[in-house]
Amino acid sequence: MSSVFQIIGPPMVGPSSSHTAGAVRIGLLARALLGETPTRAAIGLHGSFAATGRGHGTDRGLIAGLLGWNTDDERIKDAPERAKQAGLEVVFRAVDLGENVHPNSVQMDLAGADGDGIALVASSIGGGNVEVARLDGFETRLTGALDTLAVWHMDRPGFLAQLTAVLAGVAINIATLRTARAHRGAEALTVVETDAAPCAEAIALFRKMEHTRKVRVVPRFV
Amino acid sequence: MNSHFTTARELLALCAARHRSIADIAIAREIEESGETESAILARMLRYYERMRDSVREGLAIDRPSPSGLSGGDARRLLVYAESGAALLGEAFGRVIAYGCAVLETNAAFGRIVATPTAGSAGVVPACLLSLQETRGLSDEQASRALFTAGGVGHIIGANACFSGARGGCQAEVGSASSMAAAAIVEAVGGSPESAIHAAAFALMNTLGMVCDPVGGYVEVPCVSRNGMFAAHSFLAANMALAGMRCLIPFDEVVSAMRDIGRRMPPALKETAEAGLAATPTGLRFRPAPFHSSESPP
């Protein structure tokens, strides 16, 4: 935990920090990684999320996050109705992601308006703290505790050097950096947690890099 | 200057080296980690404290059942009894119980609370600090400063165990909250950092093994009464430490024991509502409707 406000906080609407507030935050991370409000969300609930999620409003929380609402938004209980109005279609089902996955976990397949989509597995690890463990098939770790940059790219020599040079150029410190690739020379995902939000200039430079496929900026939770 | 710590041993060493309180070290650590100014951090915590107090007041006013029907109106009842002149051990004792329950009633009614460290344990710390404001004349600034003491202890628990009922049982939620509250009480009334850590150790040691078996999977039974109970429990632990009692097992080792017990605890007793109170004949009447493998939009 990097901040005392991960322990004292978040301010939230009840009833459960893991099943309600954590669900909102997973929705917020997923929305930021998609880069827009999704039009379709297929959501698999694992373990305790499937067993007791209904009474905790886990479904409502996930939808609220996908709509971009925060953990203390009093509209959370009305999220399913608001989703329909916003053109977001959501389907829930129970899934078994295996024994090694945290009991409060969710699998999400999201589609955006232009047909672009993402798939992720995320867990609510307690006290409203969450982590994305898998994104588009890549192992990762993305928590929203810090400003985060997700870059889908090709696995090429020098790519990370270019990426970190851009951050150095705008004096943004890297807290963590994690790269996973499908196989040598194939598609890869790099997730960088930074101590400040990357500026528009830096984001434009990331997008221009030869082997970049897609760039998403995930703001830290407030 | 580095105020990093992940154990009580490290935290107490920092306190001793700088002649500062746990709250001071937690504030210094937050400044270093976040890059924010001290005044911004203190202001944010004060806002959280005000929200906590609102969540107590809102809960004390609840006079109808929660959406699930499992709770509602007890905090109000407890307050009336506390003020009746007949309350056992006096009004302040009755009030701290009422305050702890009140936050969980607000929570069950989909109201706004501050997770401290979780929603299911959100009543313990606010109840203790509000009670200290009434009995010891703490200002809002002093009360919100005590939240940094609580947060400092929380850092140690978070770094070495967890706050998740699904992973560690209720000892990880209400046990952690009570441990944090006990330390906060001790520092708020002028106790030393060592004394605060002993209070934290007593509080956590006496919640070890506590399972998470919520009726119907809702955060209500036993959670509402438990938050009232363990707010009082935090004062018991603080009382022991302030009297000079010392916990044989050091706090860091109690935290390790909590993690170990959490790992060994069967999943049926970790928030899944499959055993314990949830599986009693009465508890089963409120069995949650799970999500199924194919489900239409809610």
**Dist. CA B129–CA B116, nearest whole Å:** 12
pLDDT reported for residue A52:
85
| Per-residue pLDDT at A27 exceeds 60 | yes
B27 — phi, psi (to 5°)?
-70, -45
Task: Note the pLDDT tens digit of each residue in B114-171.
Answer: 999 999 999 999 999 999 999 999 999 999 999 999 999 999 999 999 999 989 999 9
pLDDT band at B238 (very low <50, low <70, confident <90, very high): very high
Residue A103 and residue A16 share a domain: yes
**Dist. CA B20–CA B152, nearest whole Å:** 13
CA distance B89 to chain A (A): 30
**Dist. CA B30–CA B148, nearest whole Å:** 10
The share of chain B scoring above pLDDT 90, in percent, equals 92
Please count the structural domains in chain A.
Answer: 2
Which range among B231-235, B251-255, B267-271 shows the weakest confidence by mean pLDDT?
B267-271
**Dist. CA B46–CA B39, nearest whole Å:** 10
Residue A111 and residue A180 share a domain: no
The average pLDDT across B188-211 equals 98
Burial A106-122 (b: 16+ CB within 10 A, else e): bbbbbbbeeeebbebbb
Q: Is B272 on the interface with A (CB under 8 A)?
A: yes
The average pLDDT across B90-101 equals 98
Which range among A87-101, A203-217, B280-294 shows the weakest confidence by mean pLDDT?
B280-294
Residue A102 and residue A38 share a domain: yes
The average pLDDT across A108-121 equals 95
- Chain A / chain B CB contacts < 8 angstroms: 206
Q: Let me know how long chain A is.
A: 222
Pairing of strands B112-114, A11-13: antiparallel
Residue A199, SS3? coil
Q: Where residue A50 sits, what CATH number does that domain have? A: 3.30.1330.90
pLDDT reported for residue B288:
76
**Dist. CA A21–CA A80, nearest whole Å:** 16
Q: Is B120 on the interface with A (CB under 8 A)?
A: yes
**What chain B residue is nearest to A146 in terms of C-alpha separation?**
B34
State the DSSP string of B26-82.
HHHHHHHHH---HHHHHHHHHHHHHHHHHHHHHHHT--S--TTSS--SHHHHHHHHH
ipTM of the complex: 0.94
Q: Tell me if B298 and A51 make a contact (CB, 8 A cut-off).
A: no
Task: Count CB neighbours of A136 within 10 A.
Answer: 17
Scanning chain A, the segments in alpha helix (DSSP H) are 22-34, 48-56, 58-66, 79-85, 159-169, 200-208
Domain residue limits at A200:
147-218
Residues 28 through 87 of chain B touching chain A, CB cutoff 8 Å = 29-30, 33-35, 44-45, 48, 51, 68
Give the H or E element holding residue B167. helix B165-168
Residue A124 and residue A26 share a domain: yes
Domain boundary among the residues A135, A163, A186 is at A135
Residue A72 and residue A46 share a domain: yes
Residue B101's Cβ-count burial label (10 Å; 0-12, 13-18, 19+) is buried
Residues of A in contact with B278 (CB under 8 A): none
Residues of B in contact with A195 (CB under 8 A): 35
